[in-house]
Amino acid sequence: MLDIRFVRENPDAVKENIKKKFQDAKLPLVDEVIALDASFRALKQEGDALRANRNKLSKQIGALMGQGKKEEAEAVKAKVAADAARLAEIEEKCEELEASIKKIMMTLPNIIDPSVPVGKDDSENVEVERYGEPVVPAFEVPYHTDIMERFAGIDLDAARRVAGNGFYYLMGDIARLHSAVISYARDFMIGRGFTYCIPPFMIRADVVTGVMSFAEMDAMMYKIEGEDLYLIGTSEHSMIGKFIDQIVPEAELPYTLTSYSPCFRKEKGAHGIEERGVYRIHQFEKQEMIVVCKPEESPMWFEKLWQNTVDLFRSLDIPVRTLECCSGDLADLKVKSIDVEAWSPRQKKYFEVGSCSNLGDAQARRLRIRVKGETGNYLAHTLNNTVVAPPRMLIAFLENNLCEDGSVKIPVALRPYMGGAEVLTPKK
């Protein structure tokens, strides 16, 4: 969320940013919120003057009564009563204006970084760099669920009977591989100096609206009926929410946390064959990383965060590339974002396995996360990045480590988490 003062003083810059994000329907909101803000400030000034005058008039009443000037005192009392009625009107109107201003401010997109390429959607994202040599084997690579079924490792039919589409049972070696990847990712991030955390898997509405836009909230979040609770779509939500309404000492920054959680997502809309199986599902598990830092340090942490994901995938022999998200592909709170994509030998192309985002002070402003500095308080910057989400990681892992005989190699880094196994042998 932007600072209303910034919008008031830089309306053209805000409008230009909206155009870069191809959200022209929001352009009238800039002038509208500026007008609402002007009305709010004028009424607030009038209210402050009335409150100050009320104190003066109260003293006058006491003085007049002491002098026996009852009629004059009653006249002043009538003025105080009239002012009180007007003040009540002003306070009610200010509450309405404040709510209207906040509603608009929550929909205006954050100012994107100047380095972000301008484009309408993800088709115009820009490749930055490739890591590892993409390989297409001489043999045919089956669809990922077919590979898993050879290991008796997945049961989608039972999951549909129990929970419907978008769920799965992982079994045997595949289930163990899933857990091994999560455990390895946890230790990998601890080794990089991050503090391990298991957060709440449900959060209140004020945290939800603090960490994401209304559009994202509607498309992703499951609401707990009858309670002010939502299931998290990613542990980033509860991890950033940990700092809501906090004033943190500057000396303690940065906070670097890595968290495990299940994730729950509506995943609205129809999807093609490449998003069946375990690619796009309603429930999965993930290792996440977040940073809360000084504003001047967030660009540096942004580079470190996406590099962590690249390094983890490369340690498991999976080729990846980084993709700079264009302006139209950025969620409204994001300043800059890079996707990490893994190589799919079956599809002969890359697909997304993680996303790294710098949100500037947008989340901190919504959640009121402030830093106590030497010269006063200021808003922190927040960043997040996927370490690994095993459903998609499993797809990349199985395809890139599949052998012609149907077995799957276990990279050296993962073997301690798989009981020392060097290879998985299919059961079918």
Q: Identify the CATH number of the domain in which residue 131 sits.
A: 3.30.930.10
- Give the model's pLDDT for residue 271: 53
Would you say residue 112 lies in a domain? Answer: no
At 415, the amino acid letter reads R
Would you say residue 115 lies in a domain? Answer: no
Residues 90 and 153 in one domain: no
Which of 204, 178, 194, 306 has the alpha carbon at shortest distance from 259? Answer: 194
- Give the model's pLDDT for residue 153: 96
- Residue 341, domain extent: 122-424
Write out pLDDT tens, residues 38-88: 999 999 999 988 888 876 776 676 676 777 777 777 787 787 788 888 899
Q: Residue 108 contacts by C-beta under 8 Å, 6 or more apart in sequence?
A: 1, 2, 7, 14, 18, 26, 29, 30, 33, 332
Q: How far is CA 265 from CA 55, 121, 262, in A?
A: 55, 22, 10
Residues 275 and 162 in one domain: yes
Which of 245, 247, 234, 248 has the alpha carbon at shortest distance from 200? Answer: 234
At 403, the amino acid letter reads C
Distance (Å, whole) CA 369 – CA 380: 6
Write out pLDDT tens, residues 299-348: 999 999 999 999 999 999 999 999 999 999 999 999 999 999 999 999 99
Percent of the chain exceeding pLDDT 70 equals 96
Residues 245 and 145 in one domain: yes
122-154: buried (b, 16+ CB within 10 Å) or exposed (e) per residue? Answer: eeebeeeeebbebeeeeeebbbbbebbbbbebb
Write out pLDDT tens, residues 95-107: 999 999 999 999 9
Residues 327 and 408 in one domain: yes
Find tokens 């939502």 and name the residue: 230
Residues 195 and 308 in one domain: yes
Helices 172-191 + 298-315 axis angle, to 10: 140
154-160's contacts with Cβ under 8 Å and 24+ in sequence apart are 154/278, 156/277
Would you say residue 227 lies in a domain? Answer: yes
Question: Of 58-72, 99-113, 119-133, 162-176, which gets the smallest average pLDDT?
Answer: 58-72
- Give the model's pLDDT for residue 279: 83
Write out pLDDT tens, residues 229-251: 999 999 999 999 999 999 999 99
Of the candidates 105, 131, 162, which is a domain's last residue? 105
Would you say residue 111 lies in a domain? Answer: no
Residues 18 and 138 in one domain: no
Of the candidates 77, 105, 133, which is a domain's last residue? 105
Mean pLDDT of the 1-25 span: 97
Of the candidates 105, 133, 158, which is a domain's last residue? 105
Residues 42 and 165 in one domain: no
Question: Of 126-140, 206-220, 242-256, which gets the smallest average pLDDT?
Answer: 206-220
Residues 57 and 166 in one domain: no
Residues 40 and 155 in one domain: no
Would you say residue 420 lies in a domain? Answer: yes
Sign (positive or negative) of CA dihedral 266, 270, 274, 276:
positive
pTM: 0.90
Instruction: Work out how many domains the chain is built from and give that number.
Output: 2
Would you say residue 31 lies in a domain? Answer: yes
Q: Residue 420 pLDDT more than 90? A: yes
At 203, the amino acid letter reads I
- Give the model's pLDDT for residue 14: 98
Would you say residue 114 lies in a domain? Answer: no
Q: Identify the CATH number of the domain in which residue 40 sits.
A: 1.10.287.40
Would you say residue 116 lies in a domain? Answer: no
Residues 29 and 127 in one domain: no
